[in-house]
Amino acid sequence: GAGVSQSPRYKVAKRGQDVALRCDPISGHVSLFWYQQALGQGPEFLTYFQNEAQLDKSGLPSDRFFAERPEGSVSTLKIQRTQQEDSAVYLCASSLDGAAPYNEQFFGPGTRLTVL
């Protein structure tokens, strides 16, 4: 269908609150990625799914971060007990098959999280 969508586009949270960020990948895309982009920086890898399997979560900065993709389509990134350093844009990308080296990743518009 259409491109990758993410919701909400903007989220303001008080420090200590839990937040959930949603990503709807392109229909039929097997692979899904989450990236974190701090202000003035390039994105950094957080985690990767192949269908419903989370194959790599090495980029998650702490155990407060949790991602899931239970049915191999929509994914949710959850951040517990948010801290100010979590403020960033969270980008989701999908690809036909992330393991295939030449497949392009397609990005959503991102969710801008601000923690007060």
- Strand 111-115 and strand 10-13: the pairing is parallel
Question: How far apart, in Å, do the first and last CA atoms of the chain sit?
Answer: 36
Q: Is 37 exposed, middle or buried (0-12, 13-18, 19+ CB in 10 A)?
A: middle
Please pick, from the candidates 40, 63, 70, 84, the single residue that binds another protein as defined by CB under 8 A: 40
Part in contact with another protein (CB under 8 A); list of ranges 20-28, 60-68, 71-79, 93-101: 93-101
What is the total count of residues that contact another protein (CB under 8 A)?
25
- Give dist(CA 50, CA 31) in Å, integer: 5
Q: Is 72 in the site for another protein (CB under 8 A)?
A: no
Residue 52 found at the interface with another protein (CB under 8 A) = no
92 three-state secondary structure: strand
Q: Which stretch binds another protein (CB under 8 A): 18-26, 29-37, 67-75, 79-87?
A: 29-37
Match 């991102």 to its residue by tokens: 110
Residues of this chain that interact with another protein (CB under 8 A) are 31, 33, 35, 40-45, 48, 56, 59, 91, 98-99, 101-102, 104-110, 112
